[in-house]
Amino acid sequence: MQNNPLLTESALPFGAPQFDKIENKHYLPAFEQAIKEGKQEIDAIVANPDAPTFSNTIEALEYAGGALSRVADIFFNILEANTDDELQDIAEKVSPMLTEYDMYVSLNEKLFKRVKTVYEQRDSLNLAPDQQMLLKKQYKGFERNGANLSPDDKKTYSEYEEQLSLLTLQYGRNLLASTNAFTMVLTQESDLAGLPGYIRDMAAQAAREKDTEGWLFDLSYPSYSGFIKFSDRRDLREKMYRAYNRRAFQDEFDNTEVIRKIVDLRYKEAALLGYKDYADYQTEMRMVGSGKAVWEFIDKLKDPALPVAKDELAQLNRYAKSIGFEGDELMPWDFSYYNEKQRISRYNLTDEELKPYFRLEDCIDAIFSLANRLYGITFKPADVPVYHPDVKAYEVRDADGSFLALFYADFFPRASKRNGAWMTQFRGLKIENGIEERPFISLVTNFTKPTADTPSLITHDEFTTMLHEFGHSLHGILAKGRYPSLTCTNVDHDFVELPSQIMENWAYEKEYLTTFAKHYQTGQPLPDTLIAKIKASKNYMSAYYHMRQIQFGILDMSWHTLTALPDQSVLDFEKSVLKPTDVLPSVPDCIISTSISHLFSGGYAAGYYSYKWAEVLAADGFSLFEEKGIFDKETAGKFRHLLESGGSIDAAQLYRDFRGHDPEPAALLRQLDIIEN
C-alpha cells in the first residue's frame, strides 16, 4: 500500500493526481484499504466516550472516508472517460463493496443516535449557517437512507442498494458496448452525397484508424449527428437513425430487463422508506419539493409549447415538399436533414460556414478570457500528468494570485469514452484541520478531432455546449467553504444546471463573439452579418426542441412514479406515455429508454425536469446581465457569490439574493419566443 499512487501523498504541484503512476492494478487494493480506513474512522466516532457534539460527531463524520472519496473520484471519472474491459470488471467488483460501506455508515444505529442527539439540540448550539445546513443534510441523509427502519427492513434496503448499484453499472456498460458495436463503412463517393468536407474528413480518418478503406461512420455524436443532418441518402439516414435509436435494445446488450429491475427496485426502496413513489423520494430535498410539483411544472411548460411545436413541424413538412420531398410526412430520420435545409433557407447560415471561425484552441482561450473578464481569474498550462494524451491541464488562479483549482480539459471522442459532454471533479474542496484543499475540475466532451489537414473546428452548437460545461466547471473552480458535501456542485439537483445554462447565453452575444471568433486560415473576424444570423436563428424550432426535452422529463417521471411494473413491454410503455406529446411520427421499433443513461445510470432519475427548471432560472437570471451589461462586474460579483456558496445556503434564497425575486416559467417561454413578451 505504501507504493500505491492512489493512497500515497502526491508530491506533484498542488497535490495533483499521479496519473503517470496509476495503473489498473492499483484500484482494487486502494478501494479495499480506503474502505478499511473509512470504517475505522466511523468506528472511532461511535466509540468516542464524550457526549455527541457538532465537532466530534457531525464534522468528524463529514471528513470520515476521505481516502475513499479520493480513490472513488479518480476511478469513476476514468471509468467514464478512458475505460477498458478491466476497469469495467473492477467497477462491478467495487460496486457492492461501496454499497456495503454506505450501508455501514447510513444504517449504523449508534452513529445515527449520536447524529440525532446533536440534531435535536440544534436550536441551542449557536451554529453558523453552513453548520446548520450540514447538520440538517446529515440527519436527513440518515433518515432517507433507512436509519429509522427495523433491522429486517435495513437488511432488505441494503440488498436493494447493492442490486441497484450493479444494475446501473450494467446499464451503462451495455449502452457503451452497443454504441461501439455499430459501424457503417461507405466505399463509394456517391454514398457521401450531401456531406460537408469536414464530415467526410472525420469519417476518412476514422476508417484509417481502424485500418479500413473508405469512410467509417459510427454512433459517436459528432459522426452520427453530422451524417443524419447532411446526408442526401435517405436510406442511409434511416439506417443510422435506427441504429442510434435501438442501442441496447433487442441485441446482445439489451437493457430492457435491466430497466424493469431498476424501476422495480427504486419503487420498492422508496416504499420501504415511506414514500408514495420514487419521484417523491428523489424530489423531497430539491427546490421543487415533490413529484406532483414536477408534473405541474412540466404542464406549465408543455401546454403553451405543444401547439407551437406542431405548427413548426407542419411548416417544415410544407417546406420539405416544396423542395422535392415525396413522402406523406417527415420521419425522424428526415427531420434533421430538412430542418437544416430550412434553417439555411431562412437564415443563409451553415455549420460549414461557421466552423472555420470556431477553432477549438481559440474557443478554449475565449472561455478562459470570459472567466477572467467576469471574475478576474486566469488559466495557464499546468505541468502535471494527465490520464490520456488528448487531455490538457491548467492551473487556475484568482485575481490576487491565489491558487483556485486545477482544470483538466478532455475534448475528443474515443472508444474508451462515453458519448456526451460533462463536468466532473477529481477532488472536491474542503478545509480540514485548518488546511484547505482546492478542487481538481475536469471538463469532458466529444468534439471533432483535428485531421492531418485541418485543426479541430467545432460547430456553434458545440461551442454552446462548451460554455455549458464550463459553467459547471466554474461552480467548482470558484467554490468556497469548509465542508466537501456543501461545496462545488453539491447543491439541490434542480439548481445544479443554473450555472451551466446561464453561460450558454454568451454564445449569442456579439460583444463576446467579436473578441475571439476569427477565421483559422485568414484571421478575419466573424462578420457582423453572420453574428446577426446566429442571433436571429437562436430560437429556430425552439418549441420543437423544448418539447423534446419535455418528453424526456415526461418519460423520466412516468417511469419513476410507477408503483408497480406495467404489464406492457418497456417499448410499449414508453410509446404510451409519450404519445400525447409526440410531434414527429413515432417509429414503432425505436426506443429512448434503453439509451437514456441520465435516467438509469447517470444520476438524473426523477430529475430530468431539472434541466428545464434551471433553464427557467437561467433565462430570468441572464436578463439581469442583459439589463446591466454582459460583462458587468457588479452583476458578475453577485453571481460569483452564488457560485462560491455551493450548497451551504438554501438554493431558493441564493437565487433571490442574486436576482431579487423568484423566477417564473414564463421567463423561459418568452426567451424561446413561445409566448409573447
Task: Give the residue numbers annotated as catalytic, written as ranges.
Answer: 469
Nearest 5°: the CA angle 253, 259, 264 is 150
The whole-angstrom separation of Cα 174 and Cα 161 is 20
The whole-angstrom separation of Cα 44 and Cα 49 is 10
Nearest 5°: the CA angle 51, 55, 57 is 60
Burial class (CB in 10 A: 0-12, 13-18, 19+), 116: middle
For residue 551, give the nearest of 522, 588, 592 by alpha carbon: 592
The whole-angstrom separation of Cα 406 and Cα 383 is 11
Nearest 5°: the CA angle 313, 315, 316 is 60
347 close to 537: Cβ distance less than 8 angstroms: yes
Given phi > 0 = left and psi -120 to 50 = alpha, else beta, which region is 676? beta
Calculate the dihedral angle through the C-alpha atoms of 324, 325, 326, 329, rounding to the nearest 10 degrees.
Answer: -150
The whole-angstrom separation of Cα 377 and Cα 479 is 13
CA atoms within 13 A on the CB side of 383: 2
The whole-angstrom separation of Cα 515 and Cα 529 is 16
Those residues whose C-beta lies under 8 Å from the C-beta of residue 15, and which sit 6 or more positions away, are 9, 437
The whole-angstrom separation of Cα 256 and Cα 258 is 5
Q: H-helix or E-strand containing 440? A: strand 440-444
**432 - beta bridge partners?**
435
CA atoms within 13 A on the CB side of 280: 15
3-state secondary structure of 64: coil
CA 42 to chain centre: 32
The whole-angstrom separation of Cα 14 and Cα 397 is 12
Please, what's the b/e burial string for 544-583 (b: 16 or more CB within 10 A of its CB; e: otherwise)?
Answer: bebbeebbbbbbbbbbbbbeeeeeeebbebbbebbeebeb
37 close to 14: Cβ distance less than 8 angstroms: no
3-state secondary structure of 442: strand
